[in-house]
Structure formats: structure tokens, C-alpha cells
């Protein structure tokens, strides 16, 4: 059962449309779809919204810390609401997938992603679920840091947003605890 959906990104206008902010982008689209707004929550070091789905309430959290300090926000929220790691889905950018590919994963390492690294360090466990949003690899000669902090092209961002709206159809399955079916359906239908 998923109770908390965390989108990873960097705060501020400068980073708003960057590839590294794929997690924020998904949460912003879900909030827009459900007509809810985020509010600043100082005690959780982030922005918070709540959506009501058929399976109940789902919290949306965008850490207002920079990417490499995301764990502070996530762990403080989880402690306050007594949410277990297996009830969390973290949405993040993934270099190893083509732009727009969406893949669910349960547990695992950080794969060099600083946001995941900090969440794992803060929680002391790796047992949370992830939605990996493909952003592709930089062209030869371009630094990875420069690439992830550059904006999506208009075509890519439109494609990614369309996939997000398809993913929203699986939220009730995830929230209801049917992770395996959601993963099977997502991986077979969203390309």
C-alpha cells in the first residue's frame, strides 16, 4: 500500500524544467489533474499536497531541500505520520532509460543518484519503491551534471507528461497494495 508519493527535484525557478526535476514534474501534473495545490510545510522541509483516490488519501511531497538532502524531508514526514518505507514511492529521473520510459522498482541501491543516496542514508533502509523516469544519456563530451540540470526539450517534456497521465491510472492499484499487477500493467503498456 502506497501512502506517500515523493517527487525528487531541486527547488527554485532555475531548476523547474530540468531533467533532474522529473519527480517534481510528475507531482505537479498529478496535483493539476486532481485540482489540489501544494503548501509549504516547514516541519517537513518541503511542499505538501493531499489527493483523494478511490483507495483513500495519498500524500504528495516535494522536498524543498536540494536533491542531495532529500532524505531530511522524507524521513521527517515519515516519522510524523508513522509511514513505513514499503508505503513510499519515490519518483526520480533515470539516466539509464530513454526519455519518457517509466519503470517501477522495489528496493535496490541508489545507482549514483544523490537524492536516492540521501534518502537511503536518512532512512537506513533501501526498501522503498521507486518510479524511474527515463531522461536518456548526455551526448558524448557533455558532463552528466550539466545534462541533468538542463531543461527538457519541448517535445520531450510533452511526451513525458503524456506518460505521467497514463501512469496516474495505476495509482489506485499501487495505493491498494497491488504493486506487482501495477508494475506488470505499467511495463507492458507504457512505452
The pTM score is: 0.94
Q: Which of 20, 92, 110, 187 is catalytic?
A: 20
The question of whether 113 is a catalytic residue gets the answer no
Tens of pLDDT, residue by residue over 111-166, are 889 899 999 999 999 999 999 999 999 999 999 999 999 999 999 988 898 889 88
Q: Are strands 129-134 and 88-94 parallel, antiparallel or unpaired?
A: parallel
- Determine the structural domain holding residue 70 and report its residue range: 4-189
Please report the pLDDT score of residue 189 as a whole number: 64
Give the closest residue to 16 by CA, choosing from 157, 159, 133, 171: 157
The pLDDT of residue 190: 52
Residue written as cell 524543498?
A: 64
Q: Which pLDDT score, from 0 to 100, does residue 112 have?
A: 84
Residues of the chain below pLDDT 50: 191
Number of domains in the chain: 1
Amino acid at each position: 500500500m502506497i501512502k506517500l508519493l515523493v517527487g525528487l527535484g531541486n527547488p527554485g525557478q532555475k531548476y523547474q524544467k530540468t531533467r533532474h526535476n522529473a519527480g517534481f514534474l510528475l507531482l505537479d501534473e498529478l496535483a493539476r489533474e486532481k485540482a489540489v495545490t501544494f503548501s509549504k510545510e516547514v516541519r517537513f522541509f518541503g511542499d505538501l499536497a493531499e489527493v483523494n483516490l478511490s483507495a483513500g488519501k495519498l500524500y504528495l511531497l516535494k522536498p524543498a531541500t536540494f536533491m542531495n538532502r532529500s532524505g531530511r524531508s522524507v524521513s521527517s514526514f515519515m516519522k510524523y505520520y508513522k509511514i513505513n518505507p514499503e508505503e513510499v514511492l519515490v519518483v526520480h529521473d533515470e539516466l539509464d532509460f530513454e526519455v519518457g520510459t517509466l519503470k517501477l522498482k522495489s528496493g535496490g541501491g541508489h545507482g549514483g543518484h544523490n537524492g536516492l543516496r540521501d534518502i537511503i542514508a536518512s532512512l537506513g533502509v533501501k526498501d522503498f519503491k521507486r518510479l524511474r523516469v527515463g531522461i536518456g544519456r548526455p551526448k558524448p563530451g557533455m558532463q552528466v551534471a550539466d545534462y541533468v540540470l538542463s531543461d527538457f526539450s519541448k517535445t520531450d517534456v510533452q511526451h513525458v507528461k503524456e506518460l505521467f497521465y497514463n501512469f496516474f491510472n495505476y495509482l489506485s492499484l499501487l495505493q491498494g497494495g497491488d504493486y506487482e499487477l501495477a508494475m506488470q500493467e505499467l511495463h507492458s503498456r507504457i512505452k
